[in-house]
Amino acid sequence: MKVLPVVALFLLLACFSGYPSELEQSTSKFAWNCQNINEVQVEIGKWIKRNAPRDATLLAVDAGAIRYWGERKTIDVMGLNNHALLFDQKLKYDICTKPDTLAEYMRSQDATYFIAFPGLLPSLVKSTAFPELFSPVAEFSSPNYTIASSLQELMVVYGLNR
């Protein structure tokens, strides 16, 4: 019977044998991810705070740090802070794929800027209508982007052409 606790202890220790290297890798990745957020979203927020009127409204595909650091009304086009968009899948899809719908929605919200990862919305930003309605006004990127795919290493602030 004394063998059973020893075997159990051995199996438990074996489960954690790779833990130190795993912890080191995850700690390093977490640090890079934090740096990426600072280099892209936080810097966009600071840019917004310096360049957008205090009463400006923005649309963004990732509103968290941008909204916090920009201190402006920021609508997340994925609906994460807007119930109307969250539960209207068609409108959300059309905003992310059709430049005219995006522009119309921005006008209805009196929004000044649209902030997006162009790599995630290629059909939107590469459409022929997009440059007629929107102009890039600022770009932010991270040279060593680790958070998600390389499609998110560049984030662009687009102004709605009036």
Q: Please report the pLDDT score of residue 81 as a whole number.
A: 86
**What is the rounded average pLDDT of the residues 33-42?**
83
What's the predicted TM-score (pTM) here?
0.80
CB < 8 Å & 24+ apart, contacts of 53-58: 53/112, 56/111, 56/112, 56/113, 57/109, 57/110, 57/111, 57/112, 58/111, 58/112, 58/113, 58/114, 58/115
Whether pLDDT at 95 is above 90: yes
Task: Let me know if residue 6 belongs to a domain.
Answer: no
Residues spanned by the domain of 110: 18-160
Task: Let me know if residue 2 belongs to a domain.
Answer: no
Task: Let me know if residue 64 belongs to a domain.
Answer: yes
How many domains are there within the chain?
Answer: 1
| Measured distance between the N- and C-terminal CA atoms of the chain, rounded to whole angstroms | 81
Q: Are 97 and 105 in contact (CB under 8 A)?
A: no
Summary mean pLDDT of the chain: 87
**DSSP secondary structure letter of residue 119:** G
**pLDDT level of residue 16 (50, 70, 90 thresholds):** low
